[in-house]
Chains A and B, each alone.
Chain A
Amino acid sequence: MEDRILTLVTFFPLIGAVLLMFVPKERDDSVKSIALIIAFITFLFSLMMYSMFDPVANGMQFEVNIPWISTFGISYHLGIDGISLLLIMLTTLLSVIVMISSWNSVKSGVKGYFISMLMLETGMLGVFVSLDLFLFYVFWEAMLIPMYFIIGVWGGPRKIYAAIKFVLFTMFGSLLMLVALLYLMFMYHSFAGEYSFNMIELYKMPIPLGAQTYIFLAFALAFAIKVPIWPFHTWLPDAHVQAPTAGSVILAGVLLKMGTYGFIRICLPMFPEATLQFVPLISILSLIGIIYGALVAMVQRDIKSLVAYSSVSHLGFVMLGMMALNVQGLEGSVLQMINHGISTGALFLIVGMIYERRHTRMISDFGGLAKSMPVFSTFFMIASLSSIGLPLTNGFVGEFLILLGVYKANPVYAIIAATGVILAACYMLWMLQRVIFGKITNPENEKLKDLDLREKIILIPLVILIFWIGIYPKPFLERIEPAVKNIVSIVNSSRTASEARMSKGYKCVGDRCDTHTVSIGGN
Chain B
Amino acid sequence: MLENAYLIPIYPLLAFVIIIFATRWKEKLSSAISIAAILVAVIHSIFVMIAVIGRHGVPFELSVPFIEHPLISLETGIFIDPLTAVMLLVVTIVSGCVQIYSLGYMHGDPRWSRYFSYLSLFTFSMLGLVVANNFFMIFIFWELVGLTSYLLIGFWFEKDSASDAGKKAFITTRIGDLGFIIGILLLATYAGTLNYQEVFTKVADGAVPVGVLTMIGIFIFCGAVGKSAQFPLHVWLPDAMEGPTPVSALIHAATMVAAGVYLVARSMTLFVGSAEAAMTVAVIGLITSFMAASIALVQNDIKRVLAYSTVSQLGYMIMALGLYGFDVAKDPHSHSVGYFAGTFHLMTHAFFKALLFLGAGSVIHAVHTNDIQEMGGLSKKMKITSLTFFIASLSIAGIFPLSGFWSKDEIVAATLGHPVFMFFTLLIAFITAFYMFRLCFLTFTGKPRNQERFDHAHESPKTMTMPLMFLAFLSVFAGWVGMPWLSHGFSSFVYTGELQHHGPNYIVMLVSTIVAVSGIGLAYTVYFKKKISADVLMEKFKPLYTLLLNKYYFDEIYDKVIIKPLLAFTRMMWWSDANIIDGLVNFVGWFTIKWADAKMLFDKYIIDGAVNGAGTVCMAASWLFKYVQNGSVQFYTLVVITSAVGVIIYKVTPEGFVYYFIGVVVVALARFLMKMNRPEEGNVETEPEG
Contact = CB atoms under 8 A, between A and B. Distances in A.
B185 A403 contact: yes
B171 interface: yes
Contact of B178 (A404, A421, A433): A421
Contact of B140 (A370, A392, A419): A392
A425 B170 contact: yes
A56 B127 CA distance: 36
A523 interface: yes
B185 A429 contact: no
Interface stretch (B41-49, B360-368, B542-550, B563-571): B563-571
Q: How large is the interface on B (under 10, 10 to 19, 20 to 34, 35 or more residues)?
A: 35 or more
A425 B174 contact: yes
B71 A408 contact: yes
Contacts of B582: 234
A292 B572 CA distance: 11
Contact of B67 (A415, A430, A438, A477): A477
Nearest to B185: A407
B559 to A, nearest CB: 14
A165 interface: yes
B189 A433 contact: no
B113 to A, nearest CB: 11
A425 B171 contact: yes
Contacts of A251: none
Contacts of A436: 157
Contacts of B144: 390-392
B590 interface: no
Contact of B157 (A370, A396, A429, A477): A370
Contacts of B150: 429
A390 B163 contact: no
Main secondary structure on A side of the interface with B = helix
A156 interface: no
A165 B67 contact: no
A495 interface: no
Nearest to A470: B140
A481 B186 CA distance: 23
B564 to A, nearest CB: 13
Interface stretch (A4-12, A187-195, A295-303): A295-303
Contact of B573 (A235, A295, A407): A295
Contacts of A233: 581
B427 interface: no
B69 A403 contact: no
A296 B171 contact: no
B570 A368 contact: no
Interface in B632-676: none
A433 B188 contact: no
Contacts of A477: 67
Interface in B571-626: 571, 573-574, 577, 581-582, 585, 589
A254 B206 CA distance: 48
A354 interface: no
B503 interface: no
A426 B182 contact: no
A325 to B, nearest CB: 14
A438 B570 contact: no
A522 B181 CA distance: 23
A234 B581 contact: yes
Given A296-B577, A298-B570, A408-B189, A474 B67 contact: yes
Contacts of A292: 573, 577
Contacts of B185: 403-404, 407, 411, 414
A371 interface: yes
B170 A429 contact: yes
A287 B474 CA distance: 52
A169 to B, nearest CB: 8
Given A299-B571, A328-B69, A415-B182, A429 B158 contact: no
Contacts of B143: 390-391, 396
A473 interface: yes
Contact of A437 (B66, B163, B182, B188): B163
A439 interface: yes
Contacts of B72: 328, 404
Contacts of A433: 154, 163-164, 166-167
A347 B188 CA distance: 33
Contacts of B526: none
A296 B570 contact: yes
Given A414-B185, A429-B167, A437-B154, A299 B70 contact: no
B139 interface: yes
Contacts of B189: 407-408, 411
Interface in A434-451: 436-439
Contact of A397 (B67, B174, B566): B67
B573 to A, nearest CB: 5
B27 to A, nearest CB: 15
A234 B588 CA distance: 13
Contacts of B455: none
Interface in B168-182: 170-171, 174-175, 178, 181-182
A437 B573 CA distance: 27
B67 A439 contact: no
Contact of A165 (B188, B569, B570, B585): B585
A169 B170 CA distance: 39
B178 A371 contact: no
B40 interface: no
B141 interface: yes
A169 B585 CA distance: 9
Nearest to A424: B174
A221 B491 CA distance: 64
A165 B150 CA distance: 41
Nearest to B137: A391
B160 A439 contact: yes
Nearest to A371: B158
Given A426-B171, A433-B163, 20 more contacts: A234-B577, A235-B585, A295-B574, A299-B567, A326-B71, A390-B147, A391-B140, A392-B140, A401-B67, A404-B185, A407-B189, A414-B182, A418-B182, A425-B171, A429-B167, A433-B166, A437-B154, A437-B157, A439-B158, A474-B67
Interface of A: 165, 168-169, 231, 233-235, 292, 295-296, 298-300, 326-328, 368, 370-371, 385, 390-392, 396-397, 400-401, 403-404, 407-408, 411, 414-415, 418-419, 421-422, 425-426, 429-430, 433, 436-439, 473-474, 477, 522-523
11 contacts: A234-B582, A299-B570, A299-B571, A299-B573, A391-B144, A397-B67, A407-B186, A418-B178, A421-B174, A430-B167, A439-B158
Interface of B: 66-72, 136, 139-144, 147, 150, 154, 157-158, 160, 163-164, 166-167, 170-171, 174-175, 178, 181-182, 185-186, 188-189, 566-567, 569-571, 573-574, 577, 581-582, 585, 589
Closest 7 CB pairs of A and B: A391-B140, A437-B163, A437-B157, A234-B582, A407-B185, A391-B143, A295-B570
